[in-house]
Structure 1
């Protein structure tokens, strides 16, 4: 549950946490033949990434050198942007019509600018054959109003990391797999140990995990016209679920004020039994809290009655104002081809977004004495078959999250009834 997403600024922070260290080799892959003419006459393109220097300087220099050697008419200038500055910088560049040619973003933020027609329509640049090499459900994450605005890159799915010792103390023999089971475990952990089963944030600007839980519990967030659809029995039940947990004292009070980082801190301190996060945090826990790491195990992502599971996506977009769109698309497809995605995933402990890369034995074979990281990779890859982007591609998705979270908080604090909170959240969204 509590996972990475402020990418939404949180998701950006979380994905950066994935990339612990690598120097990987890159190779050629499928590129659309429609972009091959880009090299004629020469082309200079600018590629923006988020805070990847100096850790990944060697990787990207190698990547670019390989691409340029195979495409002698194209030169790539790599510009690394601090992740805290990326949103403002790309907004400014797009508004001034001086954007870079290739940008690494994520569907949530990219869709906001897609709604302003900022990105190249990739359906006119990427052939159906090349498009079919990517996981179809992941490609859909970078579409808006039936148009493709981004090319998928790397992925993560949430896992449940749990403290076996703390659950044993609470008499819990089965790790919860649904929110209904989680509520029961939360009460048991609190009663037996005085600690909390988990932490999740309701800070509007932070993780979208609670928003995603609504979909997993069967609620529809918005209808086809973009109006609030969560003011339904399923939406009210999701509101009631979180309000009840808070009022029963089964969520830390700071859930209303602290972000997802606090979930990691509490788990590492042995104060919570479960952490919903990505496999990349196993190494973080091992470094910061080795005793907790020794008692940690992996389970699939928590979900609701729908069985839906979330995936976080990083993608690559090409601004509509690019002076070299063909060369830009060719480079974006090179970065995300089968071979480079597999190499990237192995080095960075993430998942690839192409069918061929994901079918590699690296994601399918796990020994009985495998490490937690290896088991996490296997479970993550298995989950990807059912995973999807749970929040709709809306240009105002953060406003939807804000409306729901603020009214959820009011209901948790007893300032509103659940019915009133749902009604007000829907009105706040519809009147934005």
Structure 2
């Protein structure tokens, strides 16, 4: 399940090459080849995205339904994919179907290298699409990519520690969450290595949940332009709750780094942490050297301040698109239609992913951790769909700087949010 690590990571800024160069897909013609003619449909999906059982069945069914068509399926590594896609999309012979990280999609759409799918949304099962991934595939009022799959964070916790601390059920509100922390600290706090909640200072994905739960956002949209919104009372309230969690849990996680530095799943796996905010695949990492923990781990959605509700969650994931220079756009649309159908979306869910084009998440319910992700997924959201976001996320992320400055006391709440607001607006302006 580590595929999600790469999906969540933002892409570098895109500067498309102006000179054409050879890609690996399609035919040499400039338009769709005639029906019945031997054709090759080149598909680029990312390493770990689709189970082999899914792609084998999909390609067999597609080729049988399209006489003379061969699917050339190429699995791409995430490392270096930005440059490889940039080169391929600038050529006259790109692949016909590509997978994009959802934070990459707006930048490629803005460059004009993706096919406009606005008129195909209904045929591509648009009524089943995840709203968060649909939004990331939009640009300037048009749809340039479709959802593929997603993942979102939840609270991963030790069931045995909860039981020993007298916590009868997972929290269903922020108040209950804080109460659980209090009980855990009372039970295990005498151990200096114990942490009721491991929460590093720069987990901005978790911060988004708290800001959204307060009714705020990190930016507002006007056409294709975005303006930072971190100085609103709602955004500040989300940041204050983050600090409340840090203070209540007494976490020893660094305030100047994120959940990957050090890898929080490794810390959790040492057996002294009761909770972490993470993704389902992190359980495998946590238990790699501690298999005895596997039966003691479960999950629950990040709770809302409103009792009985779940907080909104950031959904990272992948989108699917057709390059504007594809020689087989008609076939590519048929391919997407099949891949986004109930049959193959169910197979994605059975593999542990949140399917991008299905409202049926029942296959995820067999595992308690995946079940919690599925429950939270119903309230998923995305980051601003702007070409600038990939650079913001991959660079000196103002949200991370804001968190560290506030949590360490280097800046007041007002100063930290004001400085981050200015930095975001500058990034939006320069990257648009």
Smaller-chain TM-score bracket: 0.7 to 0.9
In the alignment, which of 346, 354, 360 is matched to residue 358 of structure 1? Answer: 360
- C-alpha distance in 2 between matches for 1:389 and 1:172: 30
Structure 2 residue aligned with 1:229: 229
Q: Which residue of 2 aligns with 1:159?
A: 154
**Cα 1:242–1:266 shift into 2, 3 Å:** same
Shift of 1:58: 6.2
Offset from partner CA, 1:7-31 (integer Å, 9 cap, x none): 33289xxxxxxxxxxxxxxxxxxxx
**Contact kept in structure 2, 1:399 and 1:429, CA below 8 Å:** no
Distance 2:337 2:83 in 1: 26
TM-score after normalising by structure 2? 0.78
Q: Which residue of 2 aligns with 1:49?
A: 45
Pick aligned residue for 2:388 from 388, 396, 402: 396
The equivalent of 2:333 in structure 1 is 329
Please tell me whether residue 273 in structure 1 is matched to residue 270 in structure 2. no
Tell me the TM-score normalized by structure 1. 0.78
Question: Does structure 2 conserve the Cα–Cα contact (< 8 Å) formed by 1:39 and 1:74?
Answer: no
**1:199 is matched with which residue?**
198
Unaligned runs of 5+ in 2: 12-30, 428-432
Distance 1:207 1:77, change over 3 A: farther
1:257-280 deviations in whole A, cap 9, x for unaligned?
Answer: 243472211222222211333444
**Structure 2 partner of 1:15:** none
Compared CA separation, residues 345 and 111, structure 1 to 2 (3 A) = same
Structure 1 residues 295-334: aligned runs within 5 Å: 295-305=296-306, 307-310=310-313, 311-334=315-338
Instruction: Tell me whether 1:256 sits opposite 2:252 in the alignment.
Output: no
Give how far 1:394 is off.
2.4
Q: State the 1:123 CA deviation.
A: 1.2
Corresponding position: 1:128 with 2:103 = no
Contact 2:181-2:248 within 8 A present in 1 as well: no
Q: Distance in 2 between matches of 1:344 and 1:98?
A: 29
Task: Assess, with a 3 A threshold, how the Cα gap between structure 1 residues 234 and 6 changes in structure 2: closer, same or farther.
Answer: farther
Q: Distance in 2 between matches of 1:253 and 1:160?
A: 16
Equivalent residues in 2 for 1:11-26 (5 A)?
A: none
CA gap of 1:88–1:130, structure 2 versus 1, over 3 A, is: closer
Deviates more, 1:285-294 or 1:269-278: 285-294
Q: Cα distance, 1:338 vs. partner? A: 1.4
Decide which structure has greater helix share.
1
Counterpart in the other structure of 1:374 = 367
CA contact (8 A) 2:154 2:376 kept: no
Residue of structure 2 in register with 1:16 after alignment: none
- 2:79 & 2:204 partners in 1: Cα distance? 16
Contact 1:4 1:277 in 2 (8 A): no
CA–CA separation in structure 1 for the residues paired with 2:381 and 2:34: 33
Aligned-pair CA distance for 1:349: 2.1
1:215 to 212, 216, 219: 212
Rounded to whole Å, the distance in 2 between the matches of 1:244 and 1:264 is: 22
Alignment deviations for residues 83-107 of structure 1 (CA, whole Å, 9 cap, x no partner): 1222232133234565322112232
Task: Give the Cα separation in 1 of the matches to 2:144 and 2:59.
Answer: 23
Q: Secondary structure at the match of 1:410?
A: helix
Give yes or no for contact 1:198–1:263 (8 Å, CA) kept in 2: no
Report the counterpart of residue 67 of structure 2 in structure 1. Answer: 72
Distance in structure 2 (CA, Å) of the matches to 1:408 and 1:379: 26
Give 1:246 deviation, angstroms: 4.0
Aligned to 2:22: none
Structure-2 separation of matches of 1:113 and 1:171: 51
Instruction: Decide whether aligned partners of structure 1 residues 38 and 315 sit closer, same or farther in structure 2, where only a CA change above 3 A counts.
Output: farther
Matched positions, count: 391
Identify unmatched segments of 5+ residues in structure 1.
Answer: 12-34, 367-372
RMSD of aligned Cα (Å): 3.4
Query: Residue 247 of structure 1 contacts residue 412 of structure 1 at CA under 8 Å; is this kept in 2?
Result: no
Do the aligned residues in 1 keep the contact of 2:212 with 2:312 (CA within 8 Å)?
Answer: no
